[in-house]
């Protein structure tokens, strides 16, 4: 069953919705572990009016941001069934092809959103698993000293297992998370029965009244309320795996009601037992159920962390395919599911960062001060990109599109500005991570553009090459395939070979791999072949791949043969330029970026390994380039 299909039978819809519960909602589904506790952490009075006000803020944040903005509006902006920040950016670019400045703006904020996502990818595993293990403080206070070692051990095991792939483990995710959400609802209902008045919090009056009454302090607590909606972007990001309808079905019919019931239950508990604020989630349960609840909570947070880590791998691969990030080694962990990938470099960097975070902050409350700024920043980017799509592709009326932008941007900026006050106490961390990654990505893009400009300035047309070829040039049997980034002209590596070896194969294929703004390209449109030369012995072959596909050069060459290109791919020689980069004194590249680009360029995975080119058929030629 195609993940992109939106037409499902009832049985398929139920199955996909069940799978979505196991993957998509882990992050937002573990927020009840810490969200309400953190809202009252700043000393907010625990009385009827304040509890109802806080609950109302959480209810309407979930309703406006997760339900309305993401589930109803943004999820409509799918890129051929795919979602996520990169897919949204690619879709926005499609509607802005004629405006270079607008395209540059879209790429800039898209990369900023992706960079902030990585900051979120570091904090989510740390705060989720740590908040679950902190249940030991309630269950067995004497074991509190083991909280950090247990957290690090659980997280370490999670990162080590990434190389095995998530396919087999993923099959048990859905039942566990279904049981988790069912338990959230049951625990909530049990406590609501004791204090049904908490259900009045569904009235937005209590939220508005609380904000006006508290004034500045009300603005401050919005930075904690946002913890209830972290993971909202996962609904959109994972759309390609499950489809629009299954995710909406799971959210509206099961996940959303379960979350609301649990938050109401925690509120009811606080009204009757204000001292339960030390950990209202665990204290919802009877004493005999605390140990099983601790184990289940830890499993749920591991699953939530798994989804975020897998998301980081997916975003990395998409960025590499689109040329926004240096090539890295990407391993496929499933023979059946193309989306299951493992990026070793990203995995180990995330693991080290998460360990440092846990051991530095030491508690979920301390980590909460670092959480939120990255999430709300990404939400702002999503709103702006969605607005561009609404204007350029959906052609909404100006009044409607402006209403969408101002409404949701106002909510996003309220959350973001409130969280910005956390910067001195930990919010700086995801911002530093995002800034470093943004500088790396923009340096790579600028360097790649300079490299392309350098190649284009020295470009020679095939017709000109034929005129300059010496009649005494040795022609040898066989096929030479020259891999090049440029879409036009003779590649530098071919000119370099002619200059030094004075040999030309009887058949020349210039091969360029192009990544489109679509997630997938089918085989019928994968290959384009054009012949040049008097004897039609020069060929320009372009391979088109989507940003969620990996290039398979061997398969593409087989397609070329099927389309009439007469050669034996197994006997062809691949010529690849091994460029050595240096910079002129007056290079357009700023001095502080030069060393960074050289490091990224010379440490990126080679084209031979990345495109799975047969090593025994490769000839590498060194080319010195001065930018």
> What is the gyration radius of the CA atoms in the chain, in angstroms?
27
Summarize pLDDT for 374-392 with one digit per residue, the tens. Answer: 889 999 999 999 999 998 8
The Cα–Cα gap between 509 and 419 comes to 55
CA distances from 567 to 191, 342, 506, 607 (A): 74, 35, 11, 22
**DSSP-based three-state secondary structure for 69:** helix
What average pLDDT does the segment 250-269 reach?
A: 96
Tell me the β-bridge partners of 331.
Answer: 342
Summarize pLDDT for 396-443 with one digit per residue, the tens. Answer: 888 999 999 999 999 999 999 999 988 888 888 888 989 999 999 999
What average pLDDT does the segment 146-164 reach?
A: 89
DSSP string, 331-363: EE--SS-TT-EE-HHHHHHHHHHHHHHHHHH-S
* Cβ within 8 Å of residue 434, ≥6 positions away: 112, 115, 116, 118, 119, 374, 377
pLDDT confidence of residue 333:
65
pLDDT value at 336 more than 80:
no
The Cα–Cα gap between 151 and 363 comes to 11
The Cα–Cα gap between 545 and 553 comes to 11
- Name, of 73-82, 225-234, 514-523, the range with top average pLDDT: 225-234
Please give the share of the chain, as a percent, with pLDDT higher than 90: 33
pLDDT value at 589 more than 80:
yes
pLDDT value at 162 more than 60:
yes
Please give the share of the chain, as a percent, with pLDDT higher than 70: 93
SS3 assignment for 210-274? HHHHHCHHHHHHHHHHHHHHCCCHHHHHCHHHHCHHHHHHHHHHHHHHHHHHHHHHHHHHHHHCH
pLDDT confidence of residue 206:
95
Block residue for tokens 């004497």:
142
Tell me the β-bridge partners of 574.
Answer: 481, 618
- Name, of 132-141, 273-282, 487-496, the range with top average pLDDT: 273-282
pLDDT confidence of residue 5:
42
Summarize pLDDT for 489-536 with one digit per residue, the tens. Answer: 788 888 888 877 778 888 888 888 888 878 888 888 888 988 876 666
pLDDT confidence of residue 468:
65
**DSSP-based three-state secondary structure for 142:** helix
Structural domains in the chain plus CATH codes: 11-426 (1.20.1740), 456-626 (no CATH)
The Cα–Cα gap between 579 and 559 comes to 29
CA distances from 617 to 377, 604, 613 (A): 47, 21, 8
pLDDT value at 555 more than 50:
yes
The Cα–Cα gap between 579 and 423 comes to 42
- What is the pLDDT of the chain when averaged over all its residues? 86
pLDDT value at 4 more than 60:
no
pLDDT value at 233 more than 60:
yes
pLDDT confidence of residue 164:
73
Number of continuous H segments (helices) and E segments (strands) in the chain: 26, 8
Assign 234 a pLDDT band (cuts: 50, 70, 90).
confident
The Cα–Cα gap between 565 and 509 comes to 10
The Cα–Cα gap between 546 and 549 comes to 5
The Cα–Cα gap between 293 and 538 comes to 68
pLDDT confidence of residue 207:
94
Block residue for tokens 């509190």:
144
What average pLDDT does the segment 269-287 reach?
A: 92
Summarize pLDDT for 435-488 with one digit per residue, the tens. Answer: 999 999 999 999 988 888 887 777 777 666 666 665 566 778 888 888 887 777
Tell me the β-bridge partners of 544.
Answer: 514
What is the per-residue burial (b if ≥16 Cβ within 10 Å, else e) of 231-261? bbbbbbbbbbbbbbbbbbbbbeebbbebbbb
What average pLDDT does the segment 91-107 reach?
A: 86
pLDDT confidence of residue 280:
93
Nearest to 22 by CA among 285, 228, 245, 234: 234
pLDDT confidence of residue 171:
63
Block residue for tokens 């080290």:
352
pLDDT confidence of residue 208:
94
pLDDT confidence of residue 320:
87
What average pLDDT does the segment 300-322 reach?
A: 85
Q: What are phi and psi of 131, to 5 degrees?
A: -65, -35
């Amino acid at each position: 069953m195609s993940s992109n299909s939106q037409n499902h039978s009832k049985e398929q819809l139920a199955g996909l919705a069940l799978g979505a519960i196991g993957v998509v909602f882990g992050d937002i589904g573990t927020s009840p572990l810490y969200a309400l506790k953190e809202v009252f952490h700043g000393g907010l009075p625990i009385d009827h009016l304040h509890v109802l006000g806080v609950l109302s803020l959480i209810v309407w944040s979930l309703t406006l941001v997760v339900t309305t903005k993401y589930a109803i509006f943004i999820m409509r902006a799918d890129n051929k069934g795919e979602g996520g920040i990169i897919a949204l950016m690619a879709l926005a670019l499609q509607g802005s092809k004629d405006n270079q400045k607008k395209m540059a703006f879209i790429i800039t904020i898209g990369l900023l959103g992706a960079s902030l996502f990585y900051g979120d990818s570091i904090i989510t595993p740390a705060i989720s698993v740590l908040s679950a293990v902190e249940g030991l403080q309630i269950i067995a206070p004497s074991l509190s000293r083991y909280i950090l070692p247990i957290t690090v051990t659980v997280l370490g095991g999670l990162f080590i297992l990434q190389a095995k792939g998530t396919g087999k483990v993923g099959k048990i995710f859905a039942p566990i998370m279904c049981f988790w959400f069912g338990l959230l609802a049951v625990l909530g209902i049990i406590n609501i029965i004791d204090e049904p008045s908490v259900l009045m919090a569904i009235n937005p009056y209590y939220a508005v009244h609380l904000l006006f009454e508290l004034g500045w302090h009300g603005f401050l607590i919005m930075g904690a309320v946002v913890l209830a909606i972290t993971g909202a972007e996962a609904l959109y990001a994972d759309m390609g795996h499950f489809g629009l309808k299954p995710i909406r079905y799971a959210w509206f019919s099961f996940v959303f009601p379960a979350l609301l019931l649990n938050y109401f239950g925690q509120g009811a508990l606080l009204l009757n037992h204000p001292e339960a604020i030390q950990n209202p989630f665990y204290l919802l349960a009877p004493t005999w159920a605390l140990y099983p609840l601790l184990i289940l909570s830890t499993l749920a947070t591991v699953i939530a962390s798994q989804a975020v880590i897998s998301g980081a791998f997916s975003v990395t691969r998409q960025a590499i395919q689109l040329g926004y990030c240096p090539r890295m080694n990407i391993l496929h962990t499933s023979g059946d599911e193309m989306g299951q990938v493992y990026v070793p470099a990203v995995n180990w960097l995330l693991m080290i960062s998460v360990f440092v975070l846990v051991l530095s902050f030491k508690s979920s409350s301390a980590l909460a001060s670092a959480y939120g700024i990255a999430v709300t920043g990404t939400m702002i980017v999503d709103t702006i990109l969605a607005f561009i799509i609404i204007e350029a592709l959906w052609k909404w009326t100006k009044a409607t599109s402006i209403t969408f932008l101002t409404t949701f941007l106002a909510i996003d900026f309220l959350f973001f500005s409130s969280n910005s006050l956390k910067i001195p106490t930990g919010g700086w961390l995801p911002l530093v991570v995002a800034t470093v990654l943004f500088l790396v990505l923009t340096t790579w893009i600028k360097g790649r553009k300079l490299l392309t400009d350098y190649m284009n300035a020295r470009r020679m047309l095939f017709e000109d090459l034929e005129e300059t070829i010496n009649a005494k040039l040795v022609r040898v049997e066989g096929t030479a395939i020259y891999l090049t980034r440029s879409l036009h002209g003779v590649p530098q590596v071919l000119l370099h070979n002619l200059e030094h070896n004075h040999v030309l194969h009887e058949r020349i294929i210039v091969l360029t791999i192009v990544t489109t703004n679509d997630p997938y390209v089918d085989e019928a449109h994968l290959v384009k072949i054009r012949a040049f030369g008097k004897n039609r012995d020069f060929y320009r072959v372009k391979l088109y791949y989507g940003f969620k596909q990996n290039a398979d050069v061997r398969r593409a060459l087989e397609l070329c043969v099927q389309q009439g290109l007469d050669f034996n791919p197994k006997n062809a020689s691949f010529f690849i330029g091994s460029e050595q980069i240096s910079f002129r004194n007056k290079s357009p590249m700023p001095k502080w970026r030069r060393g960074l680009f050289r490091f990224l360029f010379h440490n990126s995975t080679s084209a031979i390994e990345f495109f799975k080119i047969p090593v025994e058929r490769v000839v590498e030629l060194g080319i010195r380039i001065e930018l």
